[in-house]
Structure 1
Amino acid sequence: MEKNFKEDKDFKYVEIGEGQPIIILHGLMGGLSNFAGVAEFFPKQGYKVIIPELPIYELPLLKTNVKSFSDYLKSFLTVKEIDNAILLGNSLGGHISLVFAKNHPELVKGLVLAGSSGLYENSMGESYPKRGDYGYIQSKAQEVFYNPEVATKEIVDEVFEVVNDRNKLIRTLAIAKSAIRHNMAKDLPSMNIPTGIIWGENDIVTPPNVAEEFNKLLPDSDLYWLKECGHAPMMEHPDLFNEKLLNWLKKRNF
């Protein structure tokens, strides 16, 4: 997807296709490439896929939190002149989508959550006690997926680099703590935005009961399960994820 990178003002993003915009928000340890399957498939279905690169490691430490990323998204949509976004977020990206939708419901047409934080999640551990141990980091990266082989050497190398970079590690921990503090349970019942919840049955980061709780608390939501699937369904089962998402979009006439 590198060749599709665009830059506008202070924003760097991928934009592919024309039509109803789907804004994709990546997770804390996930990059734009995690959504390669979505970016390839949905422009062929008449959608515009836009994936902004979130400033995970660029903001001042005091602003490295979920609320600031929501504000960043607001600025990005303003620059892009988008007021009818479908927000698709995985993990932290889902949490950012929820905070944004709560604060700016008039700009959101629909939400799609996959392994979203916002209620509860298991992190890799607050202190990363063995962050210099490549084998330990590899095992933690593999736990994200039902099939550990999805955690390629490239993915493990990226995580290893992050947790061994002091600046990135401090911000990673700050974001994780921010996500825990910013629990959405009390906000969700008043959010009447159509929401598709696509979840791995074997997710151990945000376990299945989290998806069920989202479905219970959000007034207008649909829940879809993916078997033999962990925390990143769009990576582990990209074709099935796309099928579930397309079915939901059609159901909602989006």
Structure 2
Amino acid sequence: MTSTGSGSIRRLHVVDDPLEEVRSSFLRLAERFDAQEAGDLAATFVIDVAGRGPTTVAVRDARCFVSPGLAPDPDARLATDPATWLDLVGGRVDGIAAFLAGRLNIEGDLNLAARFETLFRPAPGATRVLRTRRTNVRGIELESIVAGTGTPVLLLHGLGASKVSFLPTLDGLGGDRFEVHALDLPGFGKSSKPLPAGRRYTMAWMADAVHGYLIRNGIRSAHIVGNSMGGRIATELGLRHPGSVRSVVGLGSAVAFDEYRRIAPLLRVSRPQYLAVAPLRARRAWIEAGLRHLFHDPSRLPEANFQAAATDVMLSLREPGYRLAFATCARNLGMEKGRGRNSYWEKLAACGVPTYWIFGRHDRLVHHRYADRVRTSLPAAKVEMWEDCGHVPQFEHPDRVNDRVLAWLDRIEAGR
């Protein structure tokens, strides 16, 4: 099988005895283990291939152990059919494409599951190679998944999310024209979660951390695509470091919210985010309902994806560092100054990098009226209102987002 670039898969590879080939594939997989790529990772994966039963792949001390059977409490569990598994290990399709096409089901830690195939040297003739990258920026480790080659594109997730929220975009853009980096911002995913002291978790600090990522990876300039808070950080990056930004694309981008103006003074004199240190008991049903709330039409996403995302959120909420980062970022967004000297909208008007904004008519977090505010502040910006969209267009309309963003990137590159 191979990815068509839009999450669909067509069959290419047929074997006479797939289950026997599956057994052999695990032996070959262990031989391709990349100890340097694994580093100090300690994780347990269960691979459940239909008709064969579970196989445990344990990674620890820069070694890989493969054994039949189901390990207790694995970090991630991947389930698929024999043909899809053989195409995964044979490099004919990557895990992101298989997951988005509904051919690979994941339970547990989505970030670890996304990293799984990067722990092994690519099979000969692999259609696309995914890499996990750990980048130290002033003592903070930032993790990213990188796909493709060419002009750099950086994907920045929203509040409470991680790089896996951009899997459809990574799949759609990461080819032979663009090198796409899906980044875990500080405090989220598998990146470091420093305590919220000083300027940490302000949008300016986050933008500087992203700029440090570019510098440390030798990237002189990149297109920045951000969803929600990630869009706000992308804009801040364009304001603070315009020479490093080729363009900014905001998908349901966070702005200075008028509705929080009255409580902003209270947020400035208080530190409610420290309440997040306390243990949090979240009901799974609440989390799944909240995830569906992000969509105009939740039925566009397979039920298994909601379940996988809910599990991932529940795992994140167990970490005090994540809860502190979430609460502090939310507080800083709520304090954003919308009027007067040095306000968000005044600064935005001075943005000199090309910007493309997509708003959803049914976005319950970023009201669609902000599309007009952006048009007023940035007359040269490209602004679209999608009538059938909620807060996460990259998942609700992945093909459309990929097509529009690719067209935008081509336009900007042609004018450079």
Place the TM-score, normalised by the shorter chain, in its bin.
0.7 to 0.9
Q: After the TM superposition, which residues 68-217 of structure 1 pair with which residues of structure 2 at under 5 Å, given as runs?
A: 68-120=205-257, 132-149=282-299, 150=301, 152-163=306-317, 165-183=319-337, 184-217=344-377
CA-to-partner distance for each residue in 1:167-193, whole Å, 9 max, x for gaps?
Answer: 432321111011122342121111121
The one-letter code sitting in structure 1 at the alignment partner of 2:173 is F
TM superposition score normalised by structure 2: 0.55
Per-residue CA distance 1:196-244 (angstroms, 9 max, x = gap): 1122221111121123322321243101233321101001110011111
TM-score by length of 1: 0.88
Aligned counterparts of 1:166 and 1:11: Cα–Cα separation in 2: 18
Secondary structure of the structure 1 residue equivalent to 2:246: strand
Alignment-derived partner of residue 61 in structure 1: 196
Cα 1:43–1:122 shift into 2, 3 Å: farther
Q: 1:11 to 1:171 in 2, by over 3 A?
A: closer
Distance 1:34 1:238 in 2: 11
CA distance in 1, matches of 2:146, 2:259: 32
Shift in alpha-carbon separation, 1:252–1:131, aligned structure 2, 3 A: same
Distance 1:121-1:13 versus aligned 2 partners, 3 A rule? farther
User: What letter is aligned with 1:148?
Assistant: P
Matched residue type, 1:71: D
1:247 aligns with 2:395: no
Q: Identify which of 172, 197, 205 aligns with 1:41.
A: 172
Query: Which consecutive unaligned segments of at least 5 residues does structure 1 have?
Result: none
Partners in 2 of 1:71 and 1:110 — Cα distance?
17
Q: Residue 141 of structure 1 aligns to which amino acid in structure 2?
A: L
- In structure 2, the CA distance between the partners of 1:200 and 1:45, relative to structure 1 (3 Å rule), is farther
Contact kept? 2:194, 2:321, Cα under 8 Å: no
- Equivalent residues of 2:294, 2:392 under 8 A apart: yes
| CA separation of 1:11 and 1:141: change in aligned 2, threshold 3 A | closer
Aligned with 1:19 (options 150, 155, 158): 150
Matched, 1:5 2:140: no
Deviations 1:117-176 (A, max 9, x none): 1222889xx999x95333233222211111234360122233344456544323211110
Q: Matches of 1:198 and 1:7 in 2, distance apart?
A: 30
Amino acid at match of 2:178: Y
1:6 CA displacement:
1.9
Rate the CA distance shift 1:36–1:134 in 2: closer, same or farther, 3 A. Answer: closer
Distance 1:168 1:105, change over 3 A: same
- Measured in 1, the distance between the counterparts of 2:310 and 2:241 equals 36
Q: Which residue of 2 aligns with 1:227?
A: 387
Compare relative contact order (CA 8 Å, sep 6+) and give the higher one, 1 or 2: 1
CA contact (8 A) 1:121 1:207 kept: no
**1:170 and 1:253, CA in 2 relative to 1: closer, same or farther beyond 3 A?**
closer
5+ unaligned residues in a row in structure 2: which ranges?
Answer: 1-113, 119-130, 261-272, 338-343
Distance 1:18 1:166, change over 3 A: closer
Inter-partner Cα distance in structure 2 for 1:227 and 1:45: 32
Return 130-139 or 189-198, whichever deviates more.
130-139
Instruction: In structure 2, give the amino acid aligned to 1:109.
Output: R
CA–CA distance in 2 between the matches of 1:75 and 1:16?
Answer: 20
RMSD of equivalent CA atoms: 2.5
**Higher helix proportion, which one?**
1
Give SS of 1:197's match.
strand
Letter in 1 for 2:166: F
Q: Return 164-173 or 214-223, whichever deviates more.
A: 164-173
Q: Is the 2:225–2:234 Cα contact (8 Å) retained in structure 1?
A: yes
1:247 aligns to what SS in structure 2? helix
